[in-house]
Amino acid sequence: MQSTHYPWFKREDFDGFFALFQNNLANFVLIAVSMIAMGFPASIVYGKVIPGVAVSVLFGNLYYAHMANKLAQKEKRSDVTALAYGVSTPVMFIYLFGVLKPALDLTGNPDIAWKIGLAACFLGGTIEILGSIIGTWVHKKLPRAAMLGALAGVAFAFIGGELLFKTYEMPVVGMLVLAIVLMGLVAKKSMPFRIPASLFAIVIGTFMAYTVGGTDVSQIKEGFSVVGFYLPLPSFAVFHGITYLTSNMIGLFAILLPISIYNFVETMNNVEAMAAAGDKYSVGEAQLADGIGTIIGTIFGGVFPTTVYIASIGSKWMNAGRGYSILNGGVFLLASTFGVIAAISKIIPVAVISPILVFVGISMVSQAFSSVEKKHFPAVALAMFPYFANYIMTRFNNSAPEAVANLSSGIVPLGQGAMFTGLVWGAILVFIIDNEYDKAAYASMVGVVLSAVGFMHAPKLQLFYDYQYALGYAIVAGVFIAFHLYEKPAMEKEKEIISNYNENIKAV
């Protein structure tokens, strides 16, 4: 059987590469700044954490390039885009401030805290692997509008929204870069000398930042000062960390279990988004690859779980193939090994990188609406809302809890477990719109269970942390059951009339 020609690399892969690389780079800038501010030494941050995750990113990108080739051969087409792979932004923040910081505060030892982070990440990868067993079943049962809506909430709040704020921190530079990105990546206009739009935006933006943007040139010298050789080396540190995690830090399991399940759900949602865009990958295989990639990263020092990245849709919009994925994995490993990522994180201002991530947010929210039936648009919108609460909670509740509480006492509980809340309410509304009140009741009962055990509307796993939420979902489920029983005879009569009408048409 003749194989389909699926190129290793094409011109559009350049844009896909720069977008994906910058997505990962932006996260690592935040990781480096946050960990060093917490008290972790550069030897751990640049010498272990970043190279370790780079190994994970290499594995995932190579595997997803392999999956893209399989899909291209199966469907006999060459326009397949590989799934993007990287660190989940919401999960990254949970690991930074919910795992690493508490571990460092408790132990006072950066090395032990890092090992506890490794163990936590290892656990997350294991849960993702176990989740791959039921991933396909869950994928079939959840409405597309609910999955894409919950994902669009992440894109709107944490990616598009927050990075637009960062863009305006340096307005002259940020707005110019944003305009270039919108022209090149949304309107598909060619840049001078046919340079990839994202690369052109970075070059122009960085030049402007140091000339008229007010960026101190000392940052360049500071950036070169961290260039070095940071070879990723395997170690048994993760297994030492498991000992600490299961003794001194046992309470972290209450945080790790729900966020690990969230990571598993995010993979499912991102694969669904790509299916909606035309590339239908196996959910179970992607979840298995994510879990294995995360575990490999911990062996080399990485403390952040990796997943199918939300930037996949942006790459699809750019018409990238598999080359961008392969290039990203290889370049990222080299850049981390030789300290280039450390240097770039200090030299290129965040305002220059941010507009490209704004594009990712735009593409993800747009894809969510364009990939579902028009009647389900309200479900997409509803599924997005909990992440607005999650954003406010994540960014402000620790530093200004009174201000958040004064705004609304519902912000924090709505933000806790926002992914699950978005999925539940998105599914409920889809079923209401489709007059499937029995399924709406089932979705509400899922809300009962998740609320009762603390996956939603609670700061930790605890049975009936606040019974009101479980009770609320239970009452809502009862209402839907009543509607189902009330409307069932009428719906059956309607189906009978339609069936008789069809039979009469056939007879004529």
pTM of the model: 0.73
Torsion angle (degrees, nearest 10) of CA 345, 348, 351, 356: -90
Q: Look up tokens 């917490």; give the residue.
A: 38
Helices (H), 168-282: 171-181, 197-211, 218-225, 237-245, 253-277
* Angle (CA) 147 315 297, round 5°: 75
Pair of tokens at residue 239: 């297994």
> Bigger pLDDT: 156 or 259?
156
pLDDT tens-digit series, residues 454-503: 889 998 878 999 999 999 999 999 999 999 888 777 666 666 665 665 66
Cα distance between residue 125 and residue 267, in whole Å: 12
Contact 56, 236 (CB under 8 A): no
pLDDT tens-digit series, residues 396-412: 887 888 999 999 999 99
- Rounded percentage of the chain residues whose pLDDT exceeds 70: 92
pLDDT tens-digit series, residues 191-240: 888 787 888 898 899 999 999 888 888 888 888 888 888 889 998 899 88
Contact 184, 356 (CB under 8 A): no
Enter the DSSP assignment of 39. Answer: T
Report the candidate in 337, 318, 421, 260 with the shortest Cα–Cα distance to residue 57.
337
Residues in the chain: 508
Contact 371, 144 (CB under 8 A): yes
Cα distance between residue 48 and residue 30, in whole Å: 16
183 pLDDT more than 90 = yes
Mean pLDDT throughout 154-179? 90
* Angle (CA) 332 337 343, round 5°: 80
pLDDT tens-digit series, residues 38-80: 889 988 999 999 999 999 999 999 999 999 999 999 988 888 9
Pair of tokens at residue 297: 């990263």
